Structure 1
Amino acid sequence: VITGVSSFYGTDFHGKLTANGEVYDMYGLTAAHKTLPLNTTVRVTNLANNKSLILRINDRGPYIKGRILDCSYGAAKKLDFLLQGTTKVRIEIIEVGDNKYMKHKS
């Protein structure tokens, strides 16, 4: 179990590639973490309101000191912290990911 501050990212990254090679969907239920293996499934709980959600780690970040997670816009909306921008969260690992990069057909 990991606790710390989460932020979210949205429109600036929508449609761009994530660290695991997927196209970022700001409305999807995904998140970025610095060290958890890519494709890890986690339960994230917003400690301010106790709302929780199952997310998949498909990107790296956040790169702002003091933050441990960067949720997609869609995840932040469901966890109800869009207006605040950041919130304290608890991360529980459900299944460790394969850390694989998605290959694109050319």
Structure 2
Amino acid sequence: FGLILAGSGKLKTELRQSDMFDPKLGANILKVVDLSYGGENGFYKAIELSSEILANWNVKFIQEKRLIRKYFGEISPDTGKSVWGLEDTLKALDSGSVETLIVWED
């Protein structure tokens, strides 16, 4: 397994030096990422900045994120390359016009 430490300022260094961080984990650190913000945006930025390392580790999440990003550019109603809903999806599948099917449960 591998670890990516991400955060702002001294957080990463303080974490590595704290009693909470098992020294055995140090050998598993793949990358240290400096971020200027936290929360969900920080999480996605850390993944983006670590994507090459993560892709080498065959992290499925990175592959799926790239796929979703690619198709967000194509799912605009103006392109005619996407359908929504069960009925339209089944019609597209029956006609053989589906290259990729993305299922999203809300």
TM superposition score normalised by structure 1: 0.25
Larger relative contact order, structure 1 or 2 (CA cutoff 8 Å, min sep 6): 1
The structure in which a higher percent of residues are strand is 1
TM superposition score normalised by structure 2: 0.25
Larger-gyration structure (1/2): 2
The structure in which a higher percent of residues are helix is 2
